[in-house]
Amino acid sequence: MASEERRGWWMVACLFLSLVLIYRARAGYAGSLLHPLLKEFGVQRAQLSLMSSLMFAGFGLAAPFSGWLVERIETRIVMTSGALLAGLTFIALSRLHSFTALVAAYCILGFGGGGASDAQPGRDGP
């Protein structure tokens, strides 16, 4: 296997791991935390659904921006920054006590996930 081909497979493996960790962490726990979040914050289900909606809106808004950034700087910087933003947001989510802050953090989580997963690797060359 050529060095360039091996590097390509490493990139595929790293992107797969990034997508699994970020997507699964965002979507996998929502159903199990629905009732505790409703009880903790005393909000309606529609308000709680706003969190997911804003997260996906942030994700959608981050995708074109991350693509624009990839054209100007290295892909690994864009994706690492997005993953770091998502990780820091998970830490912040564990410490929030306000529903408004929770909604804002979910929006930021969408931006982090969009930056970490929607960049197009390989566009900036080897």
For the chain, what percentages of helix, strand and coil (3-state, to nearest 5) are there?
A: 80, 0, 20
pLDDT tens profile 12-70: 887 777 767 766 655 555 667 778 888 888 888 888 888 878 888 888 888 888 888 88
User: 123 in a domain, yes or no?
Assistant: no
pTM over 0.95: no
DSSP 73: S
Q: Indicate the number of domains in the chain.
A: 1
Confirm whether 20 is domain-assigned.
yes
Residue 56 lies inside a defined structural domain of this protein: yes
Give the pLDDT confidence of 91-108 residue by residue, as tens digits.
998 898 898 998 899 889
pLDDT at 35: 82
Domain that holds residue 33: 3-117
φ/ψ of 34, rounded to 5, equals -60, -55
What DSSP element (H or E) covers 59? Answer: helix 45-72
What CA–CA distance (Å, rounded) separates 97 from 25? 20
